[in-house]
């Protein structure tokens, strides 16, 4: 198990580049199973979740060739099995998006309840109900499921809540279904649109991705002829990760000295920048960069996480660290996941004043000065929040379980060192 040793209060300066979006690239890897030719994915972030998704595809018989540092050629067309590796799936929530393409290719799929970050119950009912509406029969045996169908049929599916992965999995299945599928109350996250645009470029008939109603005209039996256009159309250039960009922006507001964050997509950061504007954090925004320095004064904020374009739940713990430095009272209302506030105990042990009001709400009183300590990263985003808190704290900290952080942030220690952070990886 590896850990980070950090010491705080060092200004961060120079430039840092945002890597490709983890949550976009994972779904594009999965979509390779819909094609009868390989696809090429460029600018993939080198994070463990992406490698695990690659391992899942290889476990199904697919092939992956690395063609450059961040370029992967994925032969999802070579898959010859419809049973997902149990051990990997138990550690990767996004394994569930593979159900759509596997059902499309084999009309069958065996899988287990997917695991991943422990941030709430994370049910899979939207997937099961959706596939069942499209004609799949589902058998459950403890934690294992077997799904099969003679033919996927287009269907009208309404999501009780907006779910990113359920929208993506059903959208991919619908590409191969017979007839039209309409997804209502669909997730509008940019990752859904990036996937839809990639598939549409390759010939899929998808309309409305990025809005709450997505319509897909399926290919039925002709799926492998349908998704078979020119080679250059089977290339996906992974767009930048909006959560990493937002995390770096917060880091800049806490410790920056003219810190420049490169390769951002400003439009995807709108909710973050609106918060900055409201609480007095200044920044300079270019076409695809942001310059930011430590804010003199930060005001308190009432923050509510929401599906896109609202404020992202994945930045919620990171903003909690920011708000420990804000003057007065802040409220965070986490509406997406019911188990994503547990990290506050650790921040309180560092000196923060955060009160849990109910499982969804916390009140933060600030500013407080934090003191370094030894902590355990509970999940990916809280792990990065602890990294930020250690970097603004007095003295030294150690963060254990950094495997969680490596799931979504590529070599974060080396990249933060380059801008002046005192952070060292210790492998045991
Ligand atoms: N939900 C259900 N039933 C379902 C599916 C979801 O009730 O069958 C509920 C969830 O319990 C939750 C809400 O719907 O309350 C939204 O969950 P969603 O399905 O959108 O989450 P997800 O698709 O599993 C993706 C990202 C998460 C991100 C959320 C919200 C991927 C691989 N994961 O998760 O990213 O927090 O959308 O934007 O795309 C992360 O990267 O750290 C991460 C957790």
Give me the pLDDT at residue 232, please. 82
Nearest of 389, 402, 313, 408 to residue 345 by alpha carbon: 389
94 Cα nearest atom in ligand 1: 32
Give me the pLDDT at residue 371, please. 98
**What is the rounded average pLDDT of the residues 169-194?**
97
Active-site residues, by number, are 117
CA 142 to chain centre: 28
Average pLDDT, the chain: 96
Q: Which residues pair with 66 in a beta bridge?
A: 72
- Residue 422's pLDDT band, with cuts at 50, 70 and 90, is very high
E-assigned strands of 367-421? 374-376, 396-400
DSSP one-letter string for 297-338: --B--EEEB-STTSB-GGGHHHHHHHHTTSBEEEEEE--S-T
E-assigned strands of 133-279? 137-141, 144-148, 156-158, 180-184, 205-207, 213-217, 235-237, 259-262
Residue corresponding to tokens 């779910």: 163
Residue corresponding to tokens 């903003």: 319
Give me the pLDDT at residue 339, please. 87
N- to C-terminal Cα distance for the chain? 6
163 Cα nearest atom in ligand 1: 20
pLDDT, tens digit, for every residue of 398-417? 999 999 999 999 999 999 99
Binding residues for phosphoenolpyruvate: 22-23
Q: Whose CA is nearest to atom 43 of ligand 1?
A: 314
Tell me how far the alpha carbon of residue 258 lies from the centroid of ligand 1, in angstroms: 35
What helix, strand, coil percent values describe the chain, rounded to 5?
Answer: 35, 25, 35
* 79 in Cβ contact with 62 (< 8 Å): yes
Domains and CATH numbers, the chain: 2-19+241-427 (3.65.10.10), 22-237 (3.65.10.10)
Give me the pLDDT at residue 47, please. 98
Give me the pLDDT at residue 227, please. 87
Probe residue for ligand 1, chosen from 25, 161, 385 as the CB with the greatest number of ligand atoms within 8 Å: 161
Give me the pLDDT at residue 117, please. 67
As a dihedral over the C-alpha atoms of residue 317, residue 323, residue 325, residue 328, rounded to 10 degrees, the angle is -150
Q: Whose CA is nearest to atom 2 of ligand 1?
A: 123
Tell me how far the alpha carbon of residue 228 lies from the centroid of ligand 1, in angstroms: 31
Tell me how far the alpha carbon of residue 94 lies from the centroid of ligand 1, in angstroms: 9
Nearest of 270, 308, 316, 310 to residue 290 by alpha carbon: 270
315 vs 307: CA distance, rounded Å: 12
Please give all residues whose beta carbon lies within 6 A of any atom in ligand 1, as ranges. 23, 26, 93-94, 117, 120-127, 161, 163-166, 187, 189, 191, 313-314, 336-337, 380-381, 408
* 320 in Cβ contact with 368 (< 8 Å): no
pLDDT, tens digit, for every residue of 253-306? 999 999 999 999 999 999 999 999 999 999 999 999 999 999 999 999 999 999
Check pLDDT > 70 for residue 223. yes
Give me the pLDDT at residue 63, please. 98
Tell me how far the alpha carbon of residue 227 lies from the centroid of ligand 1, in angstroms: 28
Q: Is the peptide bond before 29 cis (omega within 30 degrees of 0)?
A: no
218 vs 247: CA distance, rounded Å: 38
- Residue 316's pLDDT band, with cuts at 50, 70 and 90, is very high
pLDDT, tens digit, for every residue of 111-143? 998 876 666 678 899 999 999 999 999 999 988
Check pLDDT > 90 for residue 204. yes
307 Cα nearest atom in ligand 1: 38
């Amino acid at each position: 198990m590896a850990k980070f040793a950090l010491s705080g209060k060092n200004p961060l300066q120079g430039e840092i580049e945002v890597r490709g979006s983890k949550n976009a690239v994972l779904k594009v890897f999965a979509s390779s199973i819909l094609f009868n030719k390989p696809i090429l994915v460029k600018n993939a972030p080198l994070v463990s979740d992406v490698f695990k998704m690659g391992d899942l595809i290889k476990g199904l018989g697919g092939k992956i060739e690395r063609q450059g540092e961040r370029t992967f050629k994925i032969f999802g067309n070579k898959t010859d099995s419809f049973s997902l590796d149990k051990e990997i799936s138990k550690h990767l929530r996004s394994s569930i998006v593979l159900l759509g393409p596997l059902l499309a290719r084999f009309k069958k799929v065996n899988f287990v309840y997917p695991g991943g970050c422990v941030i709430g119950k994370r049910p899979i009912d939207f997937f099961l109900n959706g596939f069942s509406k499209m004609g799949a029969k589902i058998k459950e045996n403890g934690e294992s499921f077997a799904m099969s169908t003679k033919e996927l049929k287009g269907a009208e599916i309404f999501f009780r809540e907006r779910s990113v992965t359920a929208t993506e999995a059903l959208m991919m299945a619908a590409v191969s279904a017979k007839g039209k599928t309409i997804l209502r109350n669909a997730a509008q996250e940019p990752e859904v649109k990036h996937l839809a645009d990639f598939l549409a470029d390759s010939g899929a008939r998808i309309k409305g991705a990025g809005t709450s109603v997505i319509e897909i005209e399926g290919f039925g039996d002709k799926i492998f002829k349908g998704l078979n256009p020119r080679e250059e159309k089977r290339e996906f250039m992974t767009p930048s990760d909006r959560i990493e960009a937002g995390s770096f922006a917060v880091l800049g507001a806490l410790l920056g000295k003219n810190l420049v964050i490169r390769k951002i997509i400003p439009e995807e950061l709108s909710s973050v920048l609106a918060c900055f504007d409201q609480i007095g954090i200044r920044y300079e925004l270019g076409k695809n960069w942001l310059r930011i320095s430590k804010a003199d004064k930060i005001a308190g904020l009432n923050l509510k996480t929401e599906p896109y374009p609202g404020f992202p739940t994945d930045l919620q713990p990171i903003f909690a660290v920011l708000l420990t430095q804000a003057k007065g009272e802040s409220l965070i209302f986490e509406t997406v996941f019911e188990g994503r506030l547990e990290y506050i105990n650790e921040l309180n042990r560092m000196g923060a004043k955060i009160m849990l009001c109910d499982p969804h709400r916390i009140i933060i009183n600030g500013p407080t000065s934090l003191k370094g300590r030894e902590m355990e990263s509970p999940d990916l985003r809280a792990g990065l929040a602890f990294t930020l808190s250690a970097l603004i704290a007095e003295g030294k900290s150690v963060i254990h379980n950094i495997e969680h952080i490596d799931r979504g942030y590529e070599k974060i220690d080396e990249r933060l060192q380059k801008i002046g952070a005192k952070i060292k990886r210790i492998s045991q």
